[in-house]
Amino acid sequence: MKSFLVFSILFTAVLLFTGCERKITGDVDAIVDISSVSCFGCHGDSGTPLDGVAAQFANSIHASGDNTNRNRLYSSRYASCERCHTSEGFIAYVTGVPVDGDHFTSFNCFTCHQPHTNGDLRLRVTDPYVLENGFSYDRGNSNLCATCHHSRSDVSDEVFVGVELDSHYGPHHSNQADMLSGENAYEYDGYDYTGSWHETGVVTAVLPAT
C-alpha cells in the first residue's frame, strides 16, 4: 500500500511537471516559420494587450451578429450581402475561395487576421480599395475597413434628369471610405464645393496615409 502511494505521488508529479511545459500536441503546420514565436504570447493566462482588444471587440457591432442573416441561406437575394455581413463571406471575397454556404457566423478575430498562417497579426487586406467612382482609397490599415465601408454605387449613376424609383437607390449604408476621401458625393448645380473636415482633419489625425 505504501509503495502504491509513493508511486501515485511520483506519477502525479511527473504529470504536473510535463503539463507545465505547455507543449502543443499533434501536427501544427504553418506556411511561414513561426518556431521562434511563443503561442502563449497570445494564448497565455496572464494579461496581454490582446485582452483589451478582445474586450472592446466583444462590445462592437461586428461581434454582435446583427444582420448576419444577410446570406444566401436566409434568402437568395442576400447572396451578395454575405461578403460584408458574415465572416465566411468576407474571407471568401478577399481570398477568392468560394464559401461552401453551409454555415455563416459574425465577424471575429480571424475574419481580418490570420496569425496562425502569417505568424503575426497583420491584416488580410492592405492593398488600396477602389471606390465605385474609380477613386483609389489608400489609408494604410483602414484599407481593409474600406472593403465593406464604402458606397455601393457611383453617384454619377444615381443622379439624372427626371424621376426613377429603385429599391437600391443611393449609397446604401456605411459609406465611410467615400466620406473620408471627399469623394463620390452628390453635388448640386449652382453651388461651389470645397473639401470637408472629414477629408483633411479626420484622415490626417486618425488614419494617416502610408
126-166 pLDDT per residue, tens = 999 999 999 999 988 999 999 999 998 888 887 777 666 66
Cell 518556431 belongs to residue: 35
When pLDDT is cut at 50, 70 and 90, the band that residue 170 belongs to is: low
Query: Of 3-12, 138-147, 186-195, which one has max mean pLDDT?
Result: 138-147
Residue 177 amino acid letter: A
The answer to whether 129 touches 150, Cβ cutoff 8 Å, is yes
Q: Please state the φ and ψ torsions of residue 120, each to the nearest 5 degrees.
A: -155, -175
pLDDT at 20: 47
Separation of alpha carbons 159 and 169, rounded Å: 10
pLDDT at position 22, please?
47
Helix (H) or strand (E) holding 118: helix 115-118
Q: What is the pLDDT of residues 20-35, one digit of tens each?
A: 444 544 455 555 565 6
Distance (Å, whole) CA 19 – CA 21: 5
Residue 204 vs residue 74, higher pLDDT: 74
Half-sphere exposure (Cβ direction) of 85: Cα atoms closer than 13 Å: 17
* Residue 1 pLDDT class (50, 70, 90 cuts): low
Half-sphere exposure of 51 (CA within 13 A, CB side): 8
Q: What distance in Å separates the CA atoms of residue 58 and residue 48, rounded to the nearest whole number? A: 16
Strand positions, DSSP E, the chain: 129-130, 136-137
Average pLDDT over residues 179-192: 88
State the residue for C-alpha cell 511561414: 32
Three-state DSSP string of 23-51:
CCCCCCCCCCCCCCCCCHHHHCCCCCHHH
Q: pLDDT value at position 14?
A: 45
**Average pLDDT along the chain:** 79
pLDDT value, residue 3: 57
Q: Is the dihedral of CA 105, 106, 112, 113 positive or negative?
A: negative
CB 146 within 8 A of CB 84: no
**Residue 82 parent element (H or E):** helix 82-85
